[in-house]
Amino acid sequence: MKHRKTEIRHAVGTVRFIYRFGKSLFGLTLLISILNAVAPLIVILGNTQILNQILSNRPQSIIRIVLYFYSAAAMAYVGAAILQRFLDIASVRANERLKTAIYEAWEKVDFQQLETQGYFSKMMKSEASFRYSGGIPAFFTQFQNFIQSLVTIIAGLGLIGWIVMVGATQSGKLAIVIVMSLLLIMLGEYGLILIYQKLTHSNIKLFKYLMNLERKMNYFLMNIVNSYENIKAIKMWGLREPIQNRYRTTWKSEKSANHKLIINDSLSQIVTAIMASFATLVLFILVVFKIKEGLLPIGQLNTLFGSVVQMTSAVSVMIATWQQFLRFQNQMQYASDILPPEKPAASSGSATLPLQTKNVIEFVHVSFAYADGPEVLHDISLKLDLQGVTALVGVNGSGKSTLVKLLLGLYRPTKGKILFNGQDISKFTQADYFSLFKVVFQDYAIFDFSIAQNISASVDQDQRRLRDVMMSSGIAKWADRLQNQEKTAIGTYSQENFQPSGGQRQQIAVARAQYKHGIYQILDEPSAAMDPIKELRLFSKIKQVSQDTPSLFITHRIGAVTLANKIILMRDGRIDGIGTKSSLLRQSAYFRELWHSQADMYAFDAHLGAAGE
C-alpha cells in the first residue's frame, strides 16, 4: 500500500510537470478518450437490441435501430478524429517546447557546474531518457489509453453489473450464486495482481540497469565509432581490436538484459491474459446460468460478450499503460531534474557596473579548487590594470586558464574575492559582468549558422560595425565571394554546405571578439596553430590595437612576452612574478629558465645577420 502511495505521488508530480507545457492537452485527451471508449459500446448495445428484436420477431424496427445506433457511433468516432487532429499538433508543439526548455537549461547553468562530470552525466541522462520516453506525445497516448480503458471499464461494468444483478432479488439461490461468482473473481484477480506487481518491479529494475548499460554503449557510439576524426588514429594504432573487445563485452550484457526485459514483458502480458480470461469465464458461466433459468434474453449474451471483450482488453491495456507510465516517469525525472524551478531564485547581483576611464580588476587572496578536487590556485593577490598588453605565462598546470576563468567570472573563488573597480564582482549580474570582456578561447566555437550571426552573436547585426570588423579581420576578402556573402550559413544543415577552413574559423572567432563591445580583450593561446609569419602578425596587431583595447593573452610562445607591457608568471597555482621582460629576466631564475628553453634555439645564428632581413 505504501508502494502504491509513493507511486501515485510520483504520478501526480509527473502530471504536474507535463501540465507546465501542455495545459490544453488534458481536456482534449479526456474528450477523445471518452468518445473512443463509448463508440464501440454503442455498437454493442445496438447489436443486442437487434438480436432481441429478431428473437421476438419484430423485424420492422431493425432498420431504425441500426440507423440510430450506428449513426451515434459514427458521430462519436468523427468527433474523436477531429479532436485527435488538434491533439497531435498541440502535443508536438508542447514536446518541442519541453525539449527547448531542456536545452536552454543546459545553456544557462552556471559554467563551473557545467564542467563537472556530475552535471555532464545529468545532461546525457536528461537527453537520452527524454528521447527514449517518447516525450509528451507518448505521455498523452498513455493518458488516452488509460482514460479510454477506464471509461470502457466503468461503462462495461455498468452494463455487466446490470446483467449480473438481474434476478438477484428474485431468488435467494441466485443471489448467493451471484455473490459467490463476484467473490471468486475478486480473489482470483487479487492473486494475479500481486504476481503482476512483482513483475512490474523487476521490470523497472531491469530498465534502470539497461539505461546504465545504454550509457556505456553510447560512449562507444558517440565518442569512438561516430567521431570521425578519431578513426584514422584507431586504424593506425590498431585500436580496433581492444575497442571491439570492450564494446562486445558491454554489448553482450545489454543483449542479455534486453532478453530478460522481453521475457518480463511477455510474462506480464500472460498474467494479464490469465486475469482477463478468468474473469470472462466466471461471468460467462453466470450469464449462461441466468439465461437457462429464463432471467435474461439470449441476446444479452452479445452484450456480455461484447462488453467483456472490450473490458478485458481495456484492463490489460490499462495495466500495460500503467507499467509504461512508470517507466515514463523514471525517464521524465531526469528531464525535470535538469530544468530550473518554475519560480527563479532572486538574482544575486543587482548592482550596476562602476565603469571608469581606467579600470582595475583585483584578486584579493583568491584560492580556487574544483568540486571535490584539490586546490589549484593558492592565495592569489593581484592588481590588474586594464591597460596595454599583459601576458600570462607559465607551464601546463600552473593555473593560467583557471585564473582567466576566474577573471571572467566563469568560476567563483573558493576563498577570497575578486573586485572590479573596488566592488565585489559577485554583486553584478553575470550578464553585466560578461559584457566587459571580448574573448577568444583556444577552443573557440564556430556554430552552424550564418557567418554574420557567428560574428555578431546576435540575431540581427549592426551592418556598419559588421562590415568594419569583416574588413579588418580579413573575412570580407573571402566572404564577399560567396553567393550569400556574410549571410551564408556554415555547416551541412543548409543548402550552401559551406565549411570554412581552420584559418577562416579562427578569423571568425577573432572577428566575434572584435565586434563585441567590451573594455578588455582576452586571448587564450591565440597563435597555437599558426605558422611563424601569421603568429608574428597577430602579436604585432594585438600590440597595435592595445591603445584602444587593452588585452591579456595566455601563451606558450614565451617570445611573445616581448610585446607585452606586463608579464604575469605563474607557477604551481601561485603568482611567481610580475614585471616586464627585462625585469623578470633579472629577478626570476624560473623565468630565465622558461625564456632560455625556447630562446636559446634562436640565439646562435650567424647566418641571419649575413643574409639580412
Site for other proteins in 347-376 (CB under 8 A): none
Q: Rule CB under 8 A: choose which of 180, 221, 351, 355 binds other proteins.
A: 221
Shortest Cβ distance from residue 161 to other proteins (Å)? 19
Shortest Cβ distance from residue 515 to other proteins (Å)? 9
Q: Rule CB under 8 A: choose which of 382, 536, 545, 585 binds other proteins.
A: 536
Site for other proteins in 226-285 (CB under 8 A): 226, 228-248, 250-251, 254-255, 258-259, 262-263, 266, 269-270, 273-274, 277, 280-281, 284-285
Q: What is the DSSP string of 447-465?
A: -SSBHHHHHH-SSS--HHH
551-554 vs 389-393, strand pairing mode: parallel
Q: From residue 308, give the alpha-carbon distance in Å to each of 199, 278, 340.
A: 25, 11, 47
Q: Exposed (0-12), middle (13-18) or buried (19+): which is 12, by Cβ within 10 Å?
A: exposed
Is residue 62 within the footprint of other proteins (CB under 8 A)?
Answer: yes
Is residue 209 within the footprint of other proteins (CB under 8 A)?
Answer: no
Site for other proteins in 391-450 (CB under 8 A): 394-398, 408, 410, 430-431, 434-435, 437, 439, 441, 443-445, 447-449
Q: Rule CB under 8 A: choose which of 141, 150, 195, 289 binds other proteins.
A: 289
Is residue 93 within the footprint of other proteins (CB under 8 A)?
Answer: yes
Site for other proteins in 140-199 (CB under 8 A): none
Is residue 474 within the footprint of other proteins (CB under 8 A)?
Answer: no
Is residue 298 within the footprint of other proteins (CB under 8 A)?
Answer: yes
User: What whole-number distance in Å separates Cα of residue 492 and Cα of residue 509?
Assistant: 19
Is residue 70 within the footprint of other proteins (CB under 8 A)?
Answer: yes
User: What whole-number distance in Å separates Cα of residue 338 and Cα of residue 137?
Assistant: 20
Helix or strand (DSSP H, E) at 438: strand 437-440
In terms of CB distance, is 51 or 479 closer to other proteins? 51
**CB distance 400 to 568 below 8 Å:** no
Site for other proteins in 17-56 (CB under 8 A): 43, 47, 50-51, 54-55
Is residue 583 within the footprint of other proteins (CB under 8 A)?
Answer: no
User: What whole-number distance in Å separates Cα of residue 156 and Cα of residue 38?
Assistant: 10
User: What whole-number distance in Å separates Cα of residue 315 and Cα of residue 236?
Assistant: 59
User: What whole-number distance in Å separates Cα of residue 504 and Cα of residue 494?
Assistant: 19
Is residue 501 within the footprint of other proteins (CB under 8 A)?
Answer: yes
Q: Which three cell numbers stand for residue 598?
A: 625556447
User: What whole-number distance in Å separates Cα of residue 601 and Cα of residue 589?
Assistant: 19
Total residues contacting other proteins (rule CB under 8 A)? 169
Instruction: Look up residue 341 and give its DSSP letter.
Output: P
Q: Rule CB under 8 A: choose which of 224, 320, 369, 519 binds other proteins.
A: 224
Residues, the chain, total?
A: 613
Q: Which stretch binds other proteins (CB under 8 A): 5-13, 156-164, 292-300, 338-346?
A: 292-300
Please, what sign has the CA dihedral across residues 347, 352, 357, 362? negative
Shortest Cβ distance from residue 8 to other proteins (Å)? 28
